[in-house]
């Protein structure tokens, strides 16, 4: 089948491509031509007019919780992929804190099988230790062979420095990162950031130093072992500073940030809304300022959602008893464009780097291009559409987001990948 994306802007920083108002011809899911196409090429093709929209390499969210196997009532691989497509992503990496944990080739196969033939490509991050218990490192060689893209005990940091050291040494053989949820549990253990707000709300605090300590430990061990550390959902000022220093020293340290950690502060918790409860918690204005600085200067490589679906009955509880986490796949691009692009924190090039290119680099995956004979893997953005988040229309099985009814500027209008397009709320076979 032939499809033409007509009158579209094409932008790919890594390919040094920036063309206005051109056409992309896709045949059987493969790009065959870009540039202004002659009339006769239109004859037997399906034509989609994308005037004023921008085609960029397909966005990739490297931090998603799919809940399958185990909590299919909250999210399945397919519902998560649908939410990703609707949110503008052509690829995601899913975290291993399922039940059972993804710590064997069999579970990796199971997850991949669920995602089979979906538009959205699912890459699997495996547990760093067996059962995420922090005692014995997972079978990393076998997991690597099964195609995993990283190792993480996300939800918690790898329990001891000794185990982390082994995980870094072992994963180094395959050039895969250890992705760390940085939190010292002996200091943390509360339900919101420690500050004046936690004192006034009477909520047990999570001091920022709980994150900083593990970031420091991880950087030191990365330096010592030569293994790669990726700091997940960085949230504190000091952590950003430490990653900046590590990078200046040329260490193999990368970092991601979630939209909620740059779009919100712990002031949002004041209503005890359990959709403002996540781990790491929302921090202060000073932390957000440093995160924005870190995004600008390249300290923070990636933007990732930490999409964490939870059932309504679990979230509709007392703040201290509600589970951590919010959904994010469908608000991520809107928040990045609103809070970063339109507020002149980042350029479009930087946004594309942090949402399409760098996540794939961290996970050692190829970056899609617009070159002829490449599979079409494209996110199409409307940078200026003003829209209101409506959770009732979310494709995720869970609706736990603090961003419902929020006005955003810019969104993804379509994605193309794996011989399919998602456009105007439906999947189209190409």
Q: Does 317 bind other proteins (CB under 8 A)?
A: yes
Active site residue 212: no
Q: Choose, by CB under 8 A, the member of 110, 272, 367, 423 that binds other proteins.
A: 272
Q: Does 386 bind other proteins (CB under 8 A)?
A: no
Give the residue ranges of DSSP H helices in 88-191.
105-114, 140-145, 161-172
Nearer to other proteins among residue 175 and residue 199 (C-beta): 199
Q: Does 286 bind other proteins (CB under 8 A)?
A: no
Catalytic member of 184, 287, 306, 382: 306
Which residues neighbour 2 within 8 Å (Cβ) at sequence distance 6 or greater? 25, 26, 27, 44, 45, 46
Q: Does 320 bind other proteins (CB under 8 A)?
A: yes
- Look up residue 23 and give its two tokens: 């056409």
Nearer to other proteins among residue 322 and residue 335 (C-beta): 322
Q: Does 160 bind other proteins (CB under 8 A)?
A: no
Would you call 301 helix, strand, or coil by DSSP? coil
Half-sphere exposure of residue 232, counting CA atoms within 13 Å on the CB side? 30
Phi, psi for residue 302 in degrees, rounded to 5: -135, 155
DSSP for 244-279 reads: HHHHHTT-SEEEEE-HHHHH--GGGGGG--GGG--S
Residues 32 and 373: their CA atoms lie apart, in Å, by: 6
Q: Choose, by CB under 8 A, the member of 39, 99, 318, 425 that binds other proteins.
A: 318
Residues 296 and 349: their CA atoms lie apart, in Å, by: 11
Nearer to other proteins among residue 173 and residue 317 (C-beta): 317
Query: What mask of x and - would describe binding to other proteins in positions 54 to 93, judged by CB under 8 A?
Result: ----------------------------------------
Q: Choose, by CB under 8 A, the member of 39, 43, 116, 202 that binds other proteins.
A: 202
Residues 33 and 54: their CA atoms lie apart, in Å, by: 17
Nearer to other proteins among residue 100 and residue 204 (C-beta): 204
Residues 173 and 141: their CA atoms lie apart, in Å, by: 9
Nearer to other proteins among residue 198 and residue 331 (C-beta): 198
Q: Considering only the stretches 192-200, 248-256, 260-268, 371-379, report the one whose residues sit in contact with other proteins under the rule CB under 8 A.
A: 192-200
Size of the site for other proteins (CB under 8 A): 21
Q: Does 195 bind other proteins (CB under 8 A)?
A: yes
Sites of contact with other proteins (CB under 8 A): 194-196, 198-205, 207, 271-272, 313, 316-321
């Amino acid at each position: 089948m032939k499809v033409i994306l007509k009158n579209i802007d094409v932008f790919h920083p890594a390919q040094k491509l920036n063309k206005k108002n051109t056409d992309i011809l896709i045949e059987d899911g493969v790009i065959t031509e870009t540039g202004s196409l002659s009339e006769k090429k239109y004859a037997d093709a399906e034509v989609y007019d994308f005037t004023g929209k921008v085609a960029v390499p397909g966005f990739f969210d490297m931090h998603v919780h799919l809940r399958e196997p185990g909590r299919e009532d909250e999210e399945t691989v397919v519902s998560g992929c649908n939410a990703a497509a609707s949110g503008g992503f052509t690829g995601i990496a899913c975290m291993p804190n399922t039940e059972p944990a993804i710590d064997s080739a069999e579970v990796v196969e199971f997850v991949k099988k669920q995602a089979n033939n979906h538009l959205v490509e699912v890459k699997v991050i495996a547990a760093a230790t067996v059962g995420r218990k922090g005692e014995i490192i997972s079978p990393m060689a076998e997991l690597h062979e099964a195609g995993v893209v990283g190792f993480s005990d996300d939800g918690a940091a790898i329990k001891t420095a000794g185990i982390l050291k082994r995980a870094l040494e072992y994963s180094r053989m395959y050039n895969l990162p250890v992705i760390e949820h940085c939190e010292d549990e002996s200091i943390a253990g509360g339900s919101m950031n420690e500050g004046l707000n936690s004192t006034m709300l009477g909520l047990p605090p999570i001091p920022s130093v709980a994150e900083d300590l593990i970031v420091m430990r991880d950087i030191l061990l990365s330096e010592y072992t030569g293994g790669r550390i990726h700091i997940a959902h960085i949230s504190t000022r000091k952590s950003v500073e430490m990653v900046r220093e590590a990078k200046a020293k040329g260490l193999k340290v990368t970092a991601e940030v979630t939209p909620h950690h740059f779009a919100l502060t712990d002031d949002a918790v004041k209503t005890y809304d359990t959709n403002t409860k996540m781990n790491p918690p929302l921090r202060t204005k000073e932390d957000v300022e440093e995160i924005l600085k870190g995004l600008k200067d390249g300290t923070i490589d990636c933007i990732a959602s930490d999409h964490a679906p939870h059932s309504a009955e679990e979230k509709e509880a007392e703040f201290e008893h509600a589970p951590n986490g919010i959904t994010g796949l469908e608000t991520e691009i809107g928040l990045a464009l609103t809070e970063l692009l339109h507020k002149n924190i980042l350029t479009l090039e930087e946004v594309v780097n942090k949402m399409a290119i760098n996540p794939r680099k961290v996970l050692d995956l190829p970056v899609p291009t617009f070159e002829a004979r490449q599979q079409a893997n494209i996110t199409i953005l409307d940078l200026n559409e003003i829209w209101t988040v409506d959770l009732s229309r979310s494709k995720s099985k869970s609706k736990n987001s603090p961003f419902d009814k929020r006005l955003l500027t810019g969104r993804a209008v379509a994605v193309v990948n794996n011989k399919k397009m998602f456009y105007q709320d439906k999947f189209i076979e190409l």
